[in-house]
Amino acid sequence: MSVDTEEAAVDARTLFASADRDWRHLARGAAGLAGFVGVWWVVSLFQNDLVLPSPVSVAETFVAELLSGAMVTALFQSMLHWIPGTIAGTLLGVGLGVLLGWSRRADDTAAPVVRLLRPVPPLALIGFAIAWFGINHAGAAFIVAVGAFWINFYNAYGGVEAVSEDLLDVARSLGVSGDLAMVRTVVLPSALPEILTGVRTGIGRCWMLVVAAEIFGVPGIGRQILTASNNLAVDVVIAYILVLSLVFLVVDSAFRAVQRRVLVWRD
Amino acid sequence: MARLSDSSGASDGDEPSGDEPNDNEPGDGAARVSVDGVEKEFPGERGPVRALDGVDLDVADGEFVCLVGPSGCGKTTLLRIIAGLEPPTGGEVRLNGEPVTGPGPDLGVVFQEYHLFPWRTVAGNVAFGLERQGVPEEVRERITSDLIELVGLDGFGGAYPSELSGGMKQRVAIARALAVDPEILLMDEPFGSVDAQTREMLQGELLDVWEETGKTVVFVTHDVEEAVTLADRVVVLAANPGRVREVVAVDLPRPRRRTDEGFVEGVERIRGLIGD
């Protein structure tokens, strides 16, 4: 096998090119963001504060809410049902998705129930959340978990279904026998990209569900937004929406970094 | 390579799994394969389709046999049946006298499309079967690096399949199959997806590996010249239904040159058998 030094040169070139492209991406993104805030600001000049407060007054409100501790408290409260709900729903969804994707028998058995429950929107289950858990973090976490469950279930199911029959043949002829060994050595690693996409989508979707789930009275950022809406405090509404976006941005970027690292083998 | 066979522990016969077709002759690495009246029918729209109709074939220890034939002659199906990946609907395959009941590390398989585990590095792919057998890490690492060297991929142990060319991927697939020290190497058009130049190089390398390891090889190809380059015997299959048409012995010294009289004669003869 001849090893090309050319390959290394090509690597270096593409590396520089991609760094260059990254900068251009960032510059364009910054310009877009500045444009958005600019338009917002210009429009707000001609509007009542009740309709659209200016970016400046939103920033002032943001700082005030942050300093008063209200924002941190609300964020912490939302985390209390977002994190457990997302984790529980993700684990269950991935677990059942892998099981049903792999086992024909389990799939046949569960398919009617899955089809029956699938179309139920998580928020339609608020009654159950209250009845089973009460108006508290557990109730809200339940709603969040339902949302996380389906996204993860379908991604894991699809990922497992798409595992190449040929790779399974290779594994069999290298001595893998039994479902558990096959799932561990071939099915899970092979389906991992789809599973991680599901987890990532689920994290985002659940963050939105957190706000919706707080409608029924559980404290958190969603609750703050609803209260502020009732008081026509649009600047507060926007400040809390900003918190949602910022938290999502941080969590999603962190997860994406993990995803890239875990899936380094993909071209 | 003798060192590889001794140290792998792949066929020492002390594994708990009872589904291995056999585990005698540790380290010898060669096996006798007998295909006895093998039939294969696939369900079709208008009744079952007969893919193989009473195939008989014996492969001796350390022999290199090529299966050639027109498309639809069932050569890949026959290979998959020998590998235990598909059950025959009639007849039997035996490895050293023991019936083959399913796939396993004694029956090494190399596919045309490589089928490397994309999430594993080159070394990880080669080590896969050894990990399954619980071979200790130091031994595993030694076997893996020896094999990577044997197939000419030194320095690529940490690379992922997506970073390799087709020829390199196939070298990894061969090393992976050899790692568990199989009794026999079954290859399904392994060089069918690489360019002509790489193909010739790989053929030469495969012969080197074969000579070094003494493995029994059954090799499916549709390239008659490839068959005559490699094989001790070329089994010509006929189609509809698939059956053995003739077995042609190639008594030419290796390395064989494609311009030699005997080579050209052999190719002509086999082409004639396929074309009729």
pLDDT tens digits for range B125-136 = 999 999 999 999
Please give the residue of chain B at the shortest CA–CA distance from A164: B115
Question: Residue A143: CA atoms inside 13 Å, Cβ hemisphere, count?
Answer: 33
CB contact under 8 A, B129 and A175: yes
Residue type, B223: D
With respect to residue B215, please indicate whether it lies within any of the assigned structural domains. Answer: yes
- Rounded to whole angstroms, what are the CA distances from A80 to A107, A198, A200, A206, A244? 34, 22, 19, 13, 15
Q: Is residue A47 part of a domain?
A: no
Instruction: Determine whether A23 is exposed, middle or buried from the number of CB atoms within 10 Å of its CB (0-12, 13-18, 19+).
Output: exposed
Whether B189 and B58 share a structural domain: yes
Domain count within chain A: 2
Residue B206 lies in a domain: yes
Domain membership flag for residue A252:
yes
d(C-alpha B143, C-alpha B159), whole Å: 18
- Interface check for A168 against chain B (CB to CB < 8 A): the answer is no
In chain B, residues with a C-beta closer than 8 Å to the C-beta of A176 are 132
Q: What is the ipTM of this complex?
A: 0.83
**In this complex, do B119 and A172 lie within 8 Å of one another by their Cβ atoms?**
no
Inter-chain CB proximity B161 and A177 less than 8 Å:
no
Same domain (yes/no): A135, A24:
no
pLDDT of residue B276: 62
pLDDT at B11: 41
pLDDT of residue A236: 93
Considering the domain architecture, whether residues A22 and A151 belong to the same structural domain is answered as no
Domain of B39, in residue numbers: 29-100+185-276
The verdict on B159 and B211 lying in the same domain is no
Residue B147 lies in a domain: yes
Q: Are residues A17 and A119 in the same domain?
A: no
Decide if B262 is inside a domain: yes
**Based on the domain organization, do B39 and B93 belong to the same domain?**
yes
What's CA A266's distance to the chain center, in Å?
21
Same domain, B140 and B83: no
| Tokens encoding B274 | 């396929």
Domain boundary among B179, B209, B230: B179
The alpha-carbon gap from B246 to the nearest alpha carbon of chain A, in Å, equals 29
- A9 and A78 share a domain? no
| In a domain? residue A71 | yes
pLDDT confidence of residue A122 = 85
* A164 contacts B103? CB cut-off 8 A: no
**Interacting residues of B230 by C-beta distance below 8 A, sequence separation 6+:** B64, B66, B203, B206, B207, B219
Does A62 fall in a domain?
yes
Farthest-apart Cα atoms in chain A, separation: 73
B145 and B259 share one domain? no
Q: Which of A243, A240, A246, A245 is nearest to A227 (CA)?
A: A240
Q: pLDDT digits over B67-126, tens only?
A: 999 988 899 999 999 999 999 999 999 999 899 999 999 999 999 899 999 999 999 999
Q: Provide the pLDDT for residue B28.
A: 44
Q: Which residue segment(s) compose the domain that A71 sits in?
A: 55-262
- For residue B10, pLDDT beyond 70: no
User: Which pLDDT tens digits describe chain A residue by residue (267 residues)?
Assistant: 444 445 555 566 666 667 777 888 899 999 999 999 999 999 999 988 888 999 999 999 999 999 999 999 999 999 999 999 999 999 999 999 999 999 999 999 999 999 999 888 888 888 888 889 988 889 999 999 999 999 999 999 999 999 999 999 999 999 999 999 999 999 999 999 999 999 999 999 998 888 888 877 889 999 999 999 999 899 999 999 999 999 999 999 999 999 999 999 986
Three-class SS state of B100? coil
Minimal Cα–Cα distance from B85 to chain A, Å?
Answer: 7
Q: List, in sequence order, every residue forming a beta bridge with B41; answer none if it has no partner.
A: B50
Same domain, yes or no: A13 and A67: no
Q: Pick from A216, A205, A82: which is nearest to A150 by CA?
A: A205
B126 in the same domain as B73? no
B47 and B163 share a domain? no
Which amino acid, residue B153?
L
Residues B193-204 pLDDT 10s: 888 899 999 999
Residue B16 lies in a domain: no
Pair A160, A223 in one domain: yes
Cβ of residue B203 closer than 8 Å to a chain A Cβ:
no
Are the C-beta atoms of A259 and A211 separated by less than 8 Å?
A: no
Residue A108 sits in the same domain as residue A5: no
Is there a single domain that holds both residue A201 and residue A92?
A: yes
Check whether residue B125 and residue B65 sit in a common domain: no
Q: Is the dihedral of CA B254, B259, B262, B266 positive or negative?
A: positive
Domain boundary among B133, B159, B179: B179
Are B128 and B161 in a shared domain? yes
d(CA B173, CA B115): 8
Task: Categorize the per-residue pLDDT at B17 as very low, low, confident or very high, splitting at 50, 70 and 90.
Answer: very low
Q: Which of B152, B179, B206 is the last residue of a domain?
A: B179
Same structural domain, B174 and B203? no
Helices A188-213, A137-161: axis angle to 10 degrees equals: 150
* Residues A7, A139 share a domain: no
Look at chain B and report how many structural domains it folds into: 2
Average pLDDT, chain B: 87
Element holding B92 (H helix, E strand) = strand B90-95
Contact B93, B21 (CB under 8 A): no
Q: What is the pLDDT of residue A127?
A: 85
Q: How far is A170 from chain B (nearest CA, A)?
A: 7
Residue A9: the pLDDT is 54
Task: Say which CATH number the domain at B264 has.
Answer: 3.40.50.300
Q: How far apart, in Å, are the Cα atoms of B71 and each of A205, B64, B76? A: 51, 22, 10
What is the band of B263 on the pLDDT scale with cuts at 50, 70, 90? Answer: very high
- Domain match, B155 and B120 both: yes
Whether residue A43 is contained in a domain is answered as: no
For residues A100 and A110, give the distance between their C-alpha atoms in angstroms, rounded to a whole number: 8
